[in-house]
Amino acid sequence: MIISVASGKGGTGKTTVAVNLALSLIDSHSVQFLDCDVEEPNAHFFLNIHTLQSKPVFLPVPEIIEEKCTYCGKCAEVCAYNAIAVLKDNVLVFPELCHGCGGCTLLCPEQAIKEKGQKIGVIEYGSENNLQFIHGKLDIGQAMSPPIIREVKKHINAAQTIIIDVPPGTSCPVIEAVKGSDISLLVTEPTPFGLNDLRLAVETLKILKIPFGVVVNRADIGDRQVQNYCLKENIPVLMTIPMDKNIAVAYSEGKTIIEIQPSYKQKFLELFKKLKKLKK
């Protein structure tokens, strides 16, 4: 089962839930943890994977072969992201806009375009006990995270229980990370911002036709608007986590909830059982 742990906004406790769920399962399941929040991956701080191997990720960016180019403009015409501009006697390529789709190379009538690899980040992977870990890191100054997310997800092993830590928000990186999930877990908080962004995440998953449930973190702060919204929309609230200073302090020290409060392990196991039922 592929479980993506997402949130409409950052700071709701998405990584906390994903990490504790994974660590609660490793005694009885072979777990694969994919941290697809490649702009700011932090799950490795809590999972204690000591030996990580690294592999660079390259984006295929067009390079013009000037002696072949007739400046016909077909490459600029096919590029949906305006990464190529054709002038009277020159072609400008903007690598930071390129998505590496290869359309310009494929459709150039003069075969005047070749692709060169531009490094945009790395993926790192390792394993510990019954847990396999893979995450991506986007290089500083790069803007295109979906290619790294795709590279991370190429390592999915369907024979394992897979937990994906998704980037916050509802933009392209989120779509790339949750795509193909059997079920998604939305982590939110009972605040006006939490409710607003939860609505956006819910609408996104509905379009993608991915079943989902909600975890309310810091459940005893704010108001009951999130719970009322879930009740009205028939969205299952699968778990609530109260505001607890000890959990916050442990997080700042790189410790997990189940490490400082072992009773939570059973709660995360119950959460997993509810996800399996919801998937059906």
- Please report the DSSP string for 194-255 in residue order: HHHHHHHHHHHHHHHT--EEEEEESTTSS-SHHHHHHHHTT--EEEEE---HHHHHHHHTT-
Q: At what angle do helices 14-25 and 264-279 cross, to 10 degrees?
A: 90
Q: How far apart are CA 71 and CA 69, in angstroms?
A: 6
* pLDDT value, residue 223: 86
Low-confidence ranges of the chain (pLDDT < 50): none
* pLDDT value, residue 256: 95
Q: How far apart are CA 56 and CA 58, in angstroms?
A: 7
What are the boundaries of each domain within the chain? 2-57+128-279, 66-111
**Non-local CB neighbours of 275 within 8 Å, separated by 6+ positions:** 1, 3, 183, 185, 213, 238
- Residue 70 exposed, middle or buried by CB count within 10 Å (0-12, 13-18, 19+): exposed
* pLDDT value, residue 262: 94
Geometric angle at alpha carbon 268, from 263 and 272, rounded to 5° = 150
Q: How far apart are CA 24 and CA 129, in angstroms?
A: 13
- 2-57+128-279 CATH, one of 1.10.357.10, 1.25.40.10, 3.40.50.1000, 3.40.50.300: 3.40.50.300
* pLDDT value, residue 280: 63
- Residue 93 exposed, middle or buried by CB count within 10 Å (0-12, 13-18, 19+): middle
Q: How far apart are CA 252 and CA 16, in angstroms?
A: 11
Q: Residue 95, by phi and psi: left (phi above 0), alpha (psi -120 to 50) or beta?
A: alpha
* pLDDT value, residue 129: 83
Tokens of 44: 């490795």
Asked if 274 contacts 215 with a C-beta cutoff of 8 angstroms, the reply is no
Question: In whole angstroms, what separates CA 223 from the centre of its chain?
Answer: 28
* pLDDT value, residue 48: 83
SS3 36: coil
- What is the number of other CB atoms lying within 10 angstroms of the CB of residue 160? 17
Rg value, the chain, Cα: 22
Q: How far apart are CA 117 and CA 127, in angstroms?
A: 29
pLDDT digits (tens, 9 = 90+) for 133-158: 999 999 999 988 999 999 999 999 99
Class of domain 66-111: alpha beta
Asked if 118 contacts 99 with a C-beta cutoff of 8 angstroms, the reply is no
Q: How far apart are CA 189 and CA 187, in angstroms?
A: 7
